[in-house]
Amino acid sequence: GNSVTQMEGPVTLSEEAFLTINCTYTATGYPSLFWYVQYPGEGLQLLLKATKADDKGSNKGFEATYRKETTSFHLEKGSVQVSDSAVYFCALARNAGGTSYGKLTFGQGTILTVHP
Amino acid sequence: ETGVTQSPTHLIKTRGQQVTLRCSSQSGHNTVSWYQQALGQGPQFIFQYYREEENGRGNFPPRFSGLQFPNYSSELNVNALELDDSALYLCASSLVAGATEAFFGQGTRLTVV
């Protein structure tokens, strides 16, 4: 079945440091890949997505590239801010006939804390 | 455009009781999915409703059931509550069943004692 594995956290960084959160996946076919962010006490917000191999998703300074050869979708940001402190989830959704089935499979989440 | 709203935000139930959680989907969205997020874990897919019909189910027992109404709002019902049902329950809506993007509500925190 489908699965997503994220690097274990928590991750603690100083402001303006470089961020990488690793994500690898197992899936049949060619899934769409996502990063969601969850701020304290809130639901999930879509951060970025990529729907096919070699696509790069980007938003708010975050980037991730869909690497089919390594089945990875690592999240990166060049300079983190205190406001980026949150839990980050990597997820996939199976594509069928060009559209996603709609069921998201999530990783376990990575807690990021950024200190001033 | 209104987002996804869930109610209540928190509730406490006793083991063996029944609970109903509610979700209003984003305007124009006809698909609603429910997820269970245990503490420190990623969300787990419970089921999806599309145009009032169940359209896929995860590995949850039958005591987890749902409904979708003509206005596309949805309910999640859990019977015979167990302690392990304590979790954050998230509702997500999407434009159509095959959409690649889902919009989440803030969740309902259920505590079973």
Which pLDDT score, from 0 to 100, does residue B47 have?
93
User: Is a pLDDT exceeding 50 seen at residue B48?
Assistant: yes
Q: Comparing B56 with B69, which gets the higher pLDDT? A: B69
Q: Which residues face B21 on adjacent strands?
A: B76
- Strands A110-115 and A11-14 come out as parallel
Which pLDDT score, from 0 to 100, does residue A101 have?
55
User: pLDDT by residue (tens digit) across A4-62?
Assistant: 999 888 999 999 999 999 999 999 888 899 999 999 888 899 999 998 899 999 999 99
User: Is a pLDDT exceeding 50 seen at residue B45?
Assistant: yes
Strand ranges inside A1-116, DSSP E: 3-6, 11-14, 19-21, 23-26, 32-38, 44-50, 56-59, 62-65, 75-77, 86-96, 99-106, 110-115
Residue A97: pLDDT band with limits 50, 70, 90: very low
Q: What distance in Å separates the CA atoms of residue B23 and residue A20, rounded to the nearest whole number?
A: 34
Q: Test A109 with B97 for CB contact under 8 angstroms.
A: no
Q: Test B99 with A32 for CB contact under 8 angstroms.
A: no
Please list every residue in chain A whose beta carbon sits closer than 8 Å to the beta carbon of residue B45: 103-105
